Structure 1
Amino acid sequence: MAGAATRVVRAAGRFVDGTLPVRIRAWDGSEAGATRESGAPVVVLKHRRALRRLLWQPGEMGLAHAYVSGDLDVEGDLQEGLTAMWGLVRDGAVRPRKPGVAELPGLLGSAARLGLLGPRPAPPPEAIRLPRFAKLHSRLRDRAVIHHHYDAGNDFYELILDRNMAYSSGYWADLAAPVTEANLVAAQDAKLDLICRKLGLGEGSRLLDVGCGWGSLPIHAAKHYGAHVRGVTIATEQRDHINQRIRAEGLADRVQVDLVDYRDVPTRIEGYGEFDAVSSIEMGEHVGDGNYPTFASILFGALRPAGRALVQQMSRRPGDHPGGGPFIETYVTPDMVMRPVGDTLTLLQQAGLEVRDVHVMREHYVPTCRAWIATLEANWDRAVALAGERGARMWRLYLVGAALAFEENRMGVDQILLSRPTTTGRSGMPATRATFEPSVESAPAGTSRS
């Protein structure tokens, strides 16, 4: 009698034109499919439930549930395996096909012999569960989304991220540099410096950071540029972490962080309308299409005339899935919108801001994600202790998939520099980009980059 792996390969062949590009190892120990000598990825079906998940949800979501739950694994390096499989699909070596009506009885018989018939398996508990009656981007739903992802525990994020606790793309001087912890720190320091220079920060500058994360930019701007910073977040764990860092760094007179929804910034933040600069680093994706004009108008309104704004935001190509795909929407941030960068520029301009510079940083997210992956793998046991086995597997799949999406131009990230012109059209911007360049030391004399 043929082993389970052989029966799986035969059945899968009815859904794929061409040779199955992977080797299958089934729960009974049998193997079939592509030869090991071919270098094809080895997909390990640890439980027949993995196939039941795929029967109920063919494609990305079934595979994600199976991987996160531990029912399915990939032997060796997941990053290499996904890259190889995606490349075969992208290049047309593997093309999905729909079985004909005459094939259905045979497929049903194969499913029965493999023990796959049964109720739809529940998704792993790591999949987000949203309030049942909360409207899209209502305050209740936004808080639930943020709590799901960002209040997962500061200990876990401290494990994955660099010492800045910067959860956004770094700025790598050498994109081919090894993805070491030291190089990640340097890339995040360079990104924070770049933002501060673009915003023209200096001693006494007033900065508002909307969606301030774990405080990497507020603390850097205050410590190295002498800025006075107000940060806002709706994640309690983030606010508590930042306050600890503020006390440890002795910056209580320069940095204040409030637990405030961005929609309440105009009424809750003292000095609104008088800030020299405003920033929002990879937060604008989370406000949604319907609320983005409000978000943009709040950035505009926070600035004094001739003040500057910087928005670092992820983007998608026209026609691509704006939410990042089923996996991200189910496990990470379900209501995220990544539109083409040109559409975002239009929305910011409609709020009254003038676009001064657009800096495409897509390639920089690849080594950033891979540095986080390397840290996760090096500290796997600790990650499992903090997030659970399924939670750690979710993060592995998320970061590996994100690195591949940025590498292959299915996702992007851009720094958009803007100004609020005066009534006479004065932008307050320098004549050239020279002050933004890394070679120019524009921070106050004697400040440290360490």
Structure 2
Amino acid sequence: MTESATTAAARLAELAGTVIGGSLPIRIRAWDGSEAGPATGPVLVLNSRRALRRLLWSPGELGLAEAYISGDVDVEGDLAQGLSTVWNAAKDGKVTRPKVKPTQWPRLALEAARLGVIGLRPPGPGQAASLKGRRHSRDRDRAAIAHHYDLSNEFYELLLDKSMAYSCAYYVDGPGGDLGAAQDAKLDLVCRKLGLSAGRKHLDVGCGWGSLICYAAEHYGTYSTGVTLSRQQFEFVTKRVADAGLADRVQVRLADYRELDNGLDDGQYDAVSTIEMGEHVGDAEYPAFAGILHRVLRPGGRALVQQMSRGENAPGGGAFIETYIAPDMHMKPLGTTVSLLGGAGLEVRDVHALREHYDWTVRAWADTLEEHWTEVVEMIGEVGARVWRLYLVGGALAFAENRMGVDQILAVRPDAAGTASMEPSRRVWET
């Protein structure tokens, strides 16, 4: 260390520069009030030496996330800008991890000890998922869904719009539009793509809080059935359907999607939808999932899959999301999903990219979270609130910076002669 590196922040900056092979991409303020790094932009505030030990024990995304949600770290200024700065520095190669020379290790270790980096693993901040059993077994999937969706109906009612749609909206008028109107536009778009009309039988796999099945029955006169693995969602939708007077046209099942592979549902539906549920289906299980979508349709019936995507090298949700938000989440490249649907016998007729719309959707949720911060803390605790703040801000950035995508994939089950029963010359939902 140099003679000038006397404050905690300066010593941290120099230590970090040696380890990561570059200057700090963001300004830091240490527990002693000292600062180092770029003069402009957000400031990463290290409230405790414990933050450094979290990074030692869990280097990378998870350690930094746990330091934030525990309160050991704060961000002064725009959290999204701070996350983007760090991400872009790593992406552009400004932050690397070169080999440290053996002769440097004693000095680095001594300085790390002086700064309080070395020590026992800090206790977890709480609210992490704890799953047992084989990945994507029925019991484990049920526990994973419960961890995320059974959090609190009151929380989701506060966060979401009146439709209770927890998926990417469709901003017809661009990012300045109202979230509720954009969610209604998405629900209507799905119904038109599926060719729904009075008397048609519609199945929604992973129906959430019932937004689509209720909308389809009320506005298009369908007989809609929803399937959810979440008991809390099942009870909410059951009451919602009764309160709306839709019990004669809408039903909800508390079931695993694999329970549809029973022979009784084969060929029973004119349309099937699955809105951001495929991300919870394991990679090995997805061919069977696609096969179920094919089998429940009558020949000529349509399927709409709205699903998030990531590249081949980053299929999961990331260490933070899989630990605190959506355990066992799996996102695949768009082309892989299209191939799997085709392999199940469905003919893909259209792919509609909605990536920017998800950025706008998540930002609207994040704004609501901040507006009702005190209420959210009362509902799910300070740690829970910080988990969701980080999740929403980071999620919006992932879509804005094209690290994640989301698409509506429209497919049809051809009849025995190969006829698709869909207009080939134009997008039928635009008429």
TM bucket by the smaller chain? over 0.9
Report the equivalent of 2:308. 314
CA contact 1:53–1:120 (8 Å) conserved in 2 = yes
How many Å separate the matches in 1 of 2:265 and 2:139?
27
CA contact 1:210–1:278 (8 Å) conserved in 2 = yes
How many Å separate the matches in 2 of 1:266 and 1:231?
15
Letter in 1 for 2:305: V
Match of 1:195 among 169, 190, 194: 190
Q: Secondary structure at the match of 2:262?
A: helix
Report the equivalent of 1:27. 31
Report the equivalent of 2:104. 103
Report the equivalent of 2:211. 216
CA contact 1:310–1:417 (8 Å) conserved in 2 = yes
Q: Secondary structure at the match of 2:18?
A: coil
Report the equivalent of 2:361. 368
Query: Pairwise mapping of residues 279-428 of structure 1 onto structure 2 (< 5 A)?
Result: 279-317=273-311, 319-428=312-421
How many Å separate the matches in 1 of 2:17 and 2:94?
14
How many Å separate the matches in 1 of 2:17 and 2:69?
25
Report the equivalent of 1:446. none
Q: How big is each residue's C-alpha offset from its partner over 1:137-181, in whole Å with a ceiling of 9 and x where there is no partner?
A: 001110110011111011111111111111110111133426xxx
Query: Pairwise mapping of residues 4-83 of structure 1 onto structure 2 (< 5 A)?
Result: 4-35=8-39, 39-83=40-84
Deviation at 1:81, TM superposition (A): 1.6
Q: How big is each residue's C-alpha offset from its partner over 1:24-77, in whole Å with a ceiling of 9 and x where there is no partner?
A: 111222222222xxx232000111110001111211111011111111111022
- Structure 1: which 5+ residue stretches go unaligned? 441-450
Q: Give identity over the alignment, percent.
A: 58
Q: 1:61 to 1:217 in 2, by over 3 A?
A: same
Query: Pairwise mapping of residues 168-187 of structure 1 onto structure 2 (< 5 A)?
Result: 168-177=167-176, 183-187=178-182
Q: How big is each residue's C-alpha offset from its partner over 1:248-307, in whole Å with a ceiling of 9 and x where there is no partner?
A: 211111110010110001339x65422100010000111111111111111111111111
Q: Secondary structure at the match of 1:413?
A: strand
Q: 1:156 to 1:98 in 2, by over 3 A?
A: farther
Report the equivalent of 2:114. 113
Report the equivalent of 1:261. 256
TM-score normalized by structure 2? Answer: 0.95
How many Å separate the matches in 2 of 1:425 and 1:247?
41
Letter in 1 for 2:128: A
Letter in 2 for 1:16: I
TM-score normalized by structure 1? Answer: 0.91
Report the equivalent of 1:448. none
How many Å separate the matches in 2 of 1:310 and 1:193?
13
CA contact 1:170–1:188 (8 Å) conserved in 2 = yes
CA contact 2:52–2:116 (8 Å) conserved in 1 = no
CA RMSD of aligned residues (A): 1.6
CA contact 2:13–2:23 (8 Å) conserved in 1 = no
User: Are 2:235 and 1:240 aligned?
Assistant: yes
Report the equivalent of 1:158. 157
How many Å separate the matches in 2 of 1:186 and 1:126?
33
CA contact 2:42–2:78 (8 Å) conserved in 1 = no
Q: Secondary structure at the match of 2:119?
A: coil
CA contact 1:21–1:40 (8 Å) conserved in 2 = no
Moved more, 286-295 or 92-101: 92-101
How many Å separate the matches in 2 of 1:225 and 1:124?
47
- Structure 2: which 5+ residue stretches go unaligned? none
How many Å separate the matches in 1 of 2:83 and 2:337?
31
Q: 1:164 to 1:33 in 2, by over 3 A?
A: same
Query: Pairwise mapping of residues 131-150 of structure 1 onto structure 2 (< 5 A)?
Result: 131=132, 134-150=133-149
Letter in 2 for 1:46: N
How many Å separate the matches in 2 of 1:271 and 1:129?
34
Q: Secondary structure at the match of 1:193?
A: helix
Structure 1 residue runs of 4+, over 4 Å off?
A: none
How many Å separate the matches in 2 of 1:21 and 1:284?
36
CA contact 1:41–1:84 (8 Å) conserved in 2 = no
How many Å separate the matches in 1 of 2:99 and 2:238?
56
